[in-house]
A and B are shown apart, each in its own frame.
Chain A
Amino acid sequence: MSFQSVKELIEITKSAGIPLYEVMIQREMEHSGKGREEILGQMASYLEVMEEAVKKGLEGKGNSRSGLSGGDAKKVQDYVEKGKTLSGDEILEAVSKAMATNEVNACMGIIVATPTAGSCGVIPGALFSVRERWQLSRDKMVHFLFTAGAFGQVIANRAFISGAAGGCQAEVGSAAAMAAAALVEMAGGSPEQSAEGAAITLKNMLGLVCDPVAGLVEVPCVKRNAMGVSLALVSADLALAGVKSRIPCDEVIDTMYRIGRTMPSTLKETALGGLAVTPTAKKWAEQIKGDGPG
């Protein structure tokens, strides 16, 4: 049940008559030799860690050691509760939960890399924002993570998922595409529509560079996760509305790879380009260097 492309993944759902998440579960059983219960159990334990991180982040206590991030998730949450949002409560719910996770990560808290730590906010943000509205059971939430994982696996093997290898498009871009695909499935869309959602999302992340201020996973990472999850929600809606990406998902993934390969190394997590070399960023970097460990 191996798949190298989104096209193959969709073909398996057709030939085997099973949903996307089920393909991933069966593939994992095959690969690891572990039983179904053990695999589902591991994912459920990750779900708990994600939930804990969202909760902790929304308390809004504590800043990162650098002082560059912290407390913004709670600000957004408080703003939503006032009920006068421009982009809608649903999107901002997802945004605040995504930011909460990233803020916990920046404080050396415990998170689940989805697919990386720098992009750890997008998937929990998407998942926990629809939980109450759709009254998702634990099982369904676990399924969501398997579908996200299936798309992530294709992206990781065809391209890359780290900022150091391919820029932010590879990191938050991949996370957002994975979230969009899983959101579409959870909303009742077809596997093809999941692929459209992922393609539309990733197309709009192409070229995004990884330029962390002072080399920290904080600025602009936290806000890029915020934007990544909102893009995932909007793209999922487009896909569910029947909008199609004119460029198929696999070709978009391959494009992301091509762009990442030609991206200069100064823009791939080295903190030698982009926002990281602005006068303000340099000032921060100097200040933090003095307090840094080691």
Chain B
Amino acid sequence: MKYKSVFDIIGPMMMGPSSSHTAGAARIGRLARRLFNDKPDEVTITLYESFAQTYRGHCTDLALIGGLLDLDTYDSRIQDAYTLAGQQGMHITLSPSEESAEHPNTVRLQLRKKQKDGSPPWELEVLGISLGGGKIELIQLNEFPIRLTGDFPALLIFHEDRFGVIATVTGLLKKSHINIGYMEMSRKGKGSQALMILEMDQSLSPKVLGRIRGIPHVHQVCVFQGGL
């Protein structure tokens, strides 16, 4: 069941004109921003299919940027998203693609932020789809296939494919009384890079998050605390 809540049907409250092309787009942008956990200084937006054909009329570009600026679907400042992004030093490159995609409303977002200490820039690439009625899914993250709806708090852990990593993570969640509603694993190959995704019923405290970050073989942790 994709639509579980009555508020997926009656709702969201939003700025017009389209729930899939405006509100859904804003939510995709916002979820990417939350996972990025920082303000990106460069974002490349690639639009596919219906998003590419009709983004102007539906203000899909404004909504995506609004989301990347962490605005709500009903925040009328979305109308000035380009200006706001400029003021906040977020450089946007937008291009409609002629390539086909599996879902009619698909967007690729590449977020990037230079690091002050000279380390490589922090980059995140997501592929998002807008299902209709404001409902969304991220279906790819840094080339890993995923399925993330933004309906629940979520934890994304990039780690080396070693035994015991999963048990250590779930053990820490157990100790903090956090229930896992959905869990998914994928890896690029045996013993290589892996991604663990957990949707949880509760949000994480900074302390637990710190401990998860400290687990051996864990490279990077993205967290979404809910409330999209």
- Chain A residues in the interface with B (C-beta under 8 A): 2, 4, 24, 27-28, 31-33, 39, 42-43, 45-46, 49, 64, 66, 104-118, 120, 123, 145-146, 148-150, 152-153, 156-157, 160-165, 170-171, 178, 212, 214-218, 265, 268-272, 288-289, 292-294
Contact = CB atoms under 8 A, between A and B. Distances in A.
Given A46-B11, A117-B14, A117-B22, A157 B53 contact: no
Contacts of A288: 56-57
B69 to A, nearest CB: 15
Nearest to B100: A265
Given A108-B59, A164-B20, A31 B5 contact: yes
A112 B16 contact: no
Contacts of A24: 6
B61 interface: yes
A112 B10 contact: yes
Nearest to A294: B61
B104 A113 contact: no
B12 interface: yes
A268 B50 contact: yes
B9 A156 contact: yes
Interface of B: 1-23, 49-50, 53-59, 61-62, 74, 76, 79, 82, 94, 104-105, 131-134, 201
Given A66-B57, A106-B17, A270 B104 contact: yes
B17 A270 contact: no
Contacts of B76: 108, 110
Contact of B14 (A66, A113, A170): A113
A160 B6 CA distance: 15
A229 to B, nearest CB: 16
6 contacts: A4-B1, A105-B17, A149-B10, A153-B6, A164-B132, A216-B57
Contacts of B59: 108, 293
Query: Binding site of B, secondary structure by majority: helix, strand, loop or mixed?
Result: mixed
A113 B11 contact: yes
Contacts of B12: 112-113
Nearest to A291: B56
Contacts of A118: 17-19
Contacts of A163: 20
B16 A105 contact: yes
Most chain B Cβ neighbours within 10 Å, of A32, A33, A214, A294: A294
B6 A162 contact: no
Contacts of B6: 24, 27-28, 39, 43, 146, 149-150, 153
A172 B215 CA distance: 51
Nearest 4 A-B pairs (CB), nearest first?
A: A162-B132, A215-B54, A105-B16, A152-B9
Contacts of B23: 113, 117
Contact of B54 (A162, A271, A293): A271
